[in-house]
Amino acid sequence: MQYLVSVIDDTTDEELRRTGSGTPAEMAAIDVFNDRLVAESHWVFAGGLGAPSAATVIDNRGGEAMFTDGPFLESKEFLAGFWIIEAADLEVALKLAAEGSKACNRKVEVRPFL
């Protein structure tokens, strides 16, 4: 089964612009974790995301698409990146997510794909 592991960050946009998404030590730990996911056949895909201020929200539910700069909602926390992992069950996914949280030094959320 596949799971989405969302990385939740709480740094400010200003901090992100100044320091980037992670420290060199965090990035190195993420690389080690990613290599382990690949080696153990849990890797599907992963990626980091730009700052919320770089977002564009598109609403095309009406007659014409509306484009709005900035995040969908204002929040102290935001989606900074994600992993899509393959795991036998939720227990395995949660253990892997805990290791990912430690590697990136951020909270993570785990959700199964339907």
pLDDT value of residue 52 = 83
- Spell out the alpha helix ranges (H) of 20-112: 24-39, 90-104
Is the per-residue pLDDT at 71 higher than 90? no
Distances from the Cα of 26 to the Cα of 53, 56, 77, 103, 114, angstroms: 23, 28, 18, 6, 31
pLDDT value of residue 16 = 57
Q: What is the pTM of this model?
A: 0.88
pLDDT value of residue 105 = 94
Is the per-residue pLDDT at 23 higher than 90? no
Is the per-residue pLDDT at 76 higher than 90? no
Q: How far apart are CA 14 and CA 9, in angstroms?
A: 13
